[in-house]
Amino acid sequence: MYCSSFHIGKKIDNFANCATASQATSADFRLNPHELLTTLDEVNVSNGNPTWRRLATISWVGVLLCQVAVAVTSRNIGKSAWWLGPESNPQFPLVWAVPFLIIAAALVATLRPRKHTIYIHLTGVVMLAAVATGDVQDSPGVAMLQYVVAGIALLVSIVSLAARP
């Protein structure tokens, strides 16, 4: 009996007879297919592609800096975003943090990739767009900038697909 697949016509009845002591045994091939897929998912998730993950991380930091620029710019022109509030009556500090917490969650998801990372990114994009929608009525220019940041976050999410395990 031959263990190589190159010997056409030879039927292998038991793979364990062909394996050496350092290779697998027949018990290793009686795994539940669901267990095998779980194991493969864990291997893929833990490795990922470090180069793309670094690029995605740098991109999410860029999105964070863009959001800071929107906040500073909106204050400087006198049309603060709704989550900042006017300088005379600012919002509660926890409300200030909302867009930054959204981006921070996406950044953490990029740094610790799992198979659901893309869903976290896309949820963050939708939430950033929802934050921008709050400014459409009072300050459309600031809302447009926030929509641009949400669009950049969408592009970063697409790039993050390459970093996805």
Instruction: Give the separation between CA 158 and CA 116, rounded to whole angstroms.
Output: 14
Q: Is residue 58 a part of any domain in this protein? A: yes
What's the pLDDT score for residue 17?
A: 55
> Which is nearest to 144 in space by CA: 154, 152, 132, 156?
132
Into how many domains does the chain fold? Answer: 1
What's the pLDDT score for residue 54?
A: 86
Question: 98-111 and 140-163 helices cross at what angle (nearest 10)?
Answer: 10
Amino acid present at 31: L
CA dist 5 → 9, 13, 15, 60, 119 (Å): 9, 13, 11, 48, 41
DSSP 90: P
Q: Is residue 30 a part of any domain in this protein? A: no
What's the pLDDT score for residue 26?
A: 52
**CA torsion sign, 13 to 17 to 18 to 21?**
positive
Q: Is residue 14 a part of any domain in this protein? A: no
Q: Is residue 98 a part of any domain in this protein? A: yes
Q: Is residue 17 a part of any domain in this protein? A: no
Q: Is residue 83 a part of any domain in this protein? A: yes
CA atoms within 13 A on the CB side of 82: 14
- Residues of the chain short of pLDDT 50, as ranges, are 1-2, 6, 37, 39-46
Instruction: Give the separation between CA 109 and CA 95, rounded to whole angstroms.
Output: 22
What's the pLDDT score for residue 23?
A: 54
Q: Is residue 31 a part of any domain in this protein? A: no
Residue 153 domain boundaries? 49-163
Lookup result for tokens 């953490």: 108
pLDDT digits (tens, 9 = 90+) for 21-64: 555 555 555 555 555 545 444 444 445 577 888 888 899 999 99
Q: Is residue 79 a part of any domain in this protein? A: yes
CA dihedral 114, 61, 81, 89 (to 10 degrees): 100
